Amino acid sequence: MLKVLKRIVQEVTAARQLSEALGVLVQQINKAINAEAASVYLIDTKHAEYVLIATEGLNKQAQFRVRISLDSGLVGLVGRREEPINIEDAPAHPDFYHNPLLGEEHLKAFLGVPIIQHRKLYGVLIVQQTEQRHFDDTEESFLITLAAQLGGIIAHAEATGELAELTLPKPIGVTKVEVSSAALTGIGSVPGIGIGTAVVVYPQADIDAVPLHPVETLDEEIKAFYEALESTREDMHRLSRRMKAIVAEDEHALFDVYLRILDKDSLGVEVEHVIRKDKIGAQAALATVIKKHIAQFENMEDSYLRERASDFRDLGRRVLAALQWSQQEEIVYPKRTILVGEEVTAAALAEVPEGYLAGVISAKGSNNSHVAILARALGVPTVMGVRGLKLEFISKRAIVVDGYYGQVYISPSKSVLAEFKLLEQEEQALNQSLISLRDKSAETTDNYKVSLQVNTGLAMDAGLSMSVGAEGVGLYRSEVPFMSRDHFPSEDEQTIIYRQTLKAFAPRPVTMRTLDIGGDKVLPYFPVKEDNPYLGWRGIRVTLDHPDVFLIQVRAMMRASEELNNLRIMLPMVTNLSEVEEAAYLIEQAFTELLEEGCVIEKPKLGVMIEVPAAAYLAREIAKRVDFISVGSNDLTQYFLAVDRNNARVAGLYDAMHPAMLRVLLKVVEGGHGSCCRS
């Protein structure tokens, strides 16, 4: 039954529209438990009624036409009690509501389950059978599980406006939900407001539509494949050169990864091997290899690694298009292009002429997608993972991208468009007004000076940060350059990367956090598989277990600070004093080695980021061993309140101003001051 559940959930979530998802659901339920009728009623909040949205087994003409008041019938009973109702003879029940349009008079057994998400009732899921009986516990559990899964999908449809449109009264036969100016919601990956015209990008070729058939001319197939591979490499080189002038070295490294994948000694060898072994054509062999890599990445639990499937899919499509001699229709990019696609890729973003890109919208993907990383480097408002995106209706439409709240407005009304244009103008005006304050000291009314510093992990952030008066870098996330590569960067590579930021901010201080991986940050070439990664091998635990990695990194940091001497080093995810002492010993070792090698450097100040409750209660003891302490409020709040801020079910409980949080922060401050440590 578990396999059946997984299959149904996958098919339902793959549907492009809510109405389609519900249609798939009722069909699959009937097959799974041999029900004679399965139906979904959703609440029309405006009219306080249940609406039959989808059914399999009852009269299809009743869909969208049968409407029941919230306190009527067995549907209403399930909703009022907010618990499963299992009845062996529904027509004999006093709450049974007879509607001749449904055609359910012959159905006796009735099981109804409420659809609830975040304590809100959205509707009722029902199954019925002719036999007079109670549905068994397995069937009831099956339906409860599906209703729980369905709740999240419907809640999302409510946020996008699709639910309201679906439940509104409509003329007979009209069931399609058209594109509206209601906001679609996704993940705000890059903040900002983008207003422009939609340009929809489609895959160049379909990896899943390649026929598998044997061939005899293997050498000809191999030759054709390598020609296509080289053509794709040349195209990727072109995009790489274009992006090199726009983004910093660590973001540009994405294209180096693509080129390595497209190398004849990488993808080339794999595909040639399959052609010879299976005696199949180049297209089929390419599809076989690419789909193998896609499956490997998609089956990984880590979200960052799963996103790498998108890269292989895109590169495979590009090589396949070259094999098929597909002529990609030339895209005309308007001056303010909003790039839209089912799965927008970094390569597709790189195709847009410099200065033309105003926003990015992708139906698939997350903050870990390479396109999101690249868009972040370019400062282009981006929303990923947008559900309900109907690409066939979007091309050339006006679109607003709200990267702050992760919302997308398609063909916005005049009032909505005017409001966002006003916000855009106000943002620009605010930025202008702040220029006069930029170089003034930030002080409280009781004359306490506050140093305003930035958090960054990208070299190109330096120019923008300096232009708004940043007094240094409070947190440099050193894992970002590691995540954009397919190997551990060497000491020389790291030195070049760190030098860019240290030099850009000199003489202002730059606090570089040592490699902080684990949890939601996993390197593609250094996978860590754990049942509970947030409470596992992460932060300083990883690097102390691999002192070679730690030493290479701190050596690179200190080498990069030569003649600048504005480096501060900070340790992440500390829980024990021994971790601080061991890290300090290794830093001292690296410092001594560099002096012996002739480097002219000053020993950097050492600090600790307080991110877990244990460290918060050891703040005084930690402060005695370091030069400064900082607070990682996101993780500290998450661990202290036992709330995953990325989990929509409990995100509302995440509160950095919780009284308990304020008390623990006070304890950290008192611990730091009590040890004469700067915090």
Query: Which pLDDT value is given to residue 326?
Result: 60
Average pLDDT for 543-570: 94
Q: What share of the chain is helix, strand, coil (3-state, %, to 5)?
A: 45, 15, 35
Q: Which residue has the higher pLDDT, 675 or 474?
A: 474
In this structure, what CATH number is given to the domain that contains residue 38?
3.30.450.40
Residue 678 has pLDDT above 70, yes or no: no
DSSP secondary structure letters along 398-415 = EEEEETTTTEEEES--HH
Tell me: the pLDDT tens digits for 420-456?
Answer: 888 888 777 776 777 778 778 888 889 888 888 888 7
Is residue 675 in some structural domain? no
DSSP secondary structure letters along 624-666 = TTSSEEEE-HHHHHHHHHT--TT-TTTGGG--TT-HHHHHHHH
Residue keyed to tokens 């959205």: 122
Pairing of strands 357-362, 120-129: unpaired
Residue 171 has pLDDT above 70, yes or no: no
Beta carbons of 19 and 166 less than 8 angstroms apart: yes
Is residue 35 in some structural domain? yes
How far is Cα 544 from Cα 574, in angstroms, rounded to an integer? Answer: 11
Determine what percent of the chain is predicted with pLDDT higher than 90. 43
Is residue 636 in some structural domain? no
Query: Which pLDDT value is given to residue 468?
Result: 67
Average pLDDT for 606-629: 95
Shared domain for 7 and 156, answered yes or no, is yes
Average pLDDT for 509-519: 88
Among residues 17, 46, 66, 100, the alpha carbon closest in space to that of 172 is found at 66
Shared domain for 391 and 265, answered yes or no, is no
CA 119 to chain CA centroid, nearest Å: 25
Tell me: the pLDDT tens digits for 254-309?
Answer: 788 888 889 988 899 999 999 999 999 999 999 999 998 888 877 765 555 676 78
Query: Which of 433, 458, 473 is at the close of a domain?
Result: 433
Query: Which pLDDT value is given to residue 522?
Result: 65
Assigned token pair, 120: 């809100």
Beta carbons of 356 and 330 less than 8 angstroms apart: no
Shared domain for 444 and 584, answered yes or no, is yes
Query: Which pLDDT value is given to residue 328?
Result: 63
Name which of 24-33, 46-55, 178-187 the model is least confident about. 178-187
Shared domain for 572 and 443, answered yes or no, is yes
Query: Which pLDDT value is given to residue 70?
Result: 93
Shared domain for 276 and 351, answered yes or no, is no
Is residue 651 in some structural domain? no
Query: Which pLDDT value is given to residue 51?
Result: 94
Name which of 455-459, 501-505, 535-539 the model is least confident about. 455-459
- Under the banding of pLDDT at 50, 70 and 90, the label for residue 50 is very high
Neighbour tally for 194: CB within 10 Å: 26
Shared domain for 355 and 493, answered yes or no, is no
Neighbour tally for 30: CB within 10 Å: 18
Average pLDDT for 577-586: 96
Query: Which of 263, 297, 323 is at the close of a domain?
Result: 323
Average pLDDT for 506-523: 83
Q: Which residue has the higher pLDDT, 568 or 634?
A: 568
How far is Cα 160 from Cα 147, in angstroms, rounded to an integer? Answer: 20
Is residue 383 in some structural domain? yes
Shared domain for 94 and 128, answered yes or no, is yes
Shared domain for 251 and 194, answered yes or no, is no
Task: Output the furthest CA–CA distance in the chain (Å, rounded).
Answer: 93
Query: Which pLDDT value is given to residue 181?
Result: 47
The domain total for the chain is: 4
Residue keyed to tokens 């590009």: 318
Backbone angles phi, psi at 480, to 5 degrees: -60, -50
Average pLDDT for 121-149: 92
The C-alpha angle 170, 174, 176, rounded to 5 degrees, equals: 110
In this structure, what CATH number is given to the domain that contains residue 581?
3.20.20.60
510, containing H or E segment? strand 510-513
Query: Which pLDDT value is given to residue 179?
Result: 38
Average pLDDT for 585-607: 96
On the question of a cis peptide bond just before residue 507, with omega within 30 degrees of 0, the verdict is yes
Q: How far apart are the first and last CA of the chain?
A: 55
How far is Cα 78 from Cα 521, in angstroms, rounded to an integer? Answer: 43
- Give how far Cα 517 sits from Cα of 41, 497, 605, Å: 45, 18, 22
Tell me: the pLDDT tens digits for 665-674?
Answer: 999 999 988 7
Shared domain for 137 and 35, answered yes or no, is yes
Tell me: the pLDDT tens digits for 365-392?
Answer: 877 777 888 888 788 999 998 877 878 7
Query: Which pLDDT value is given to residue 116?
Result: 92
In this structure, what CATH number is given to the domain that contains residue 310?
1.10.274.10
pTM of this prediction? 0.51
- Under the banding of pLDDT at 50, 70 and 90, the label for residue 631 is very high
Residue 170 has pLDDT above 70, yes or no: no
Shared domain for 130 and 23, answered yes or no, is yes
Pairing of strands 510-513, 567-571: parallel
Three-state DSSP state, 213: coil
Is residue 287 in some structural domain? yes
Residue 74 has pLDDT above 90, yes or no: yes
Structural domain for 283, as ranges = 207-323
The C-alpha angle 265, 305, 347, rounded to 5 degrees, equals: 65
Query: Which pLDDT value is given to residue 182?
Result: 59
Shared domain for 156 and 216, answered yes or no, is no
Query: Which pLDDT value is given to residue 20?
Result: 85
Query: Which pLDDT value is given to residue 173?
Result: 38
Neighbour tally for 267: CB within 10 Å: 24
Assigned token pair, 455: 């958090």
Amino acid at the residue 611: E
Is residue 638 in some structural domain? no
- Under the banding of pLDDT at 50, 70 and 90, the label for residue 174 is very low
The C-alpha angle 568, 570, 572, rounded to 5 degrees, equals: 165
Query: Which pLDDT value is given to residue 190?
Result: 87
Query: Which pLDDT value is given to residue 180?
Result: 43
**pLDDT mean across residues, the chain:** 85
Query: Which pLDDT value is given to residue 510?
Result: 96
Query: Which pLDDT value is given to residue 177?
Result: 33
Residue 467 has pLDDT above 80, yes or no: no
Is residue 376 in some structural domain? yes
Shared domain for 583 and 497, answered yes or no, is yes
- Under the banding of pLDDT at 50, 70 and 90, the label for residue 249 is low
In this structure, what CATH number is given to the domain that contains residue 360?
3.50.30.10
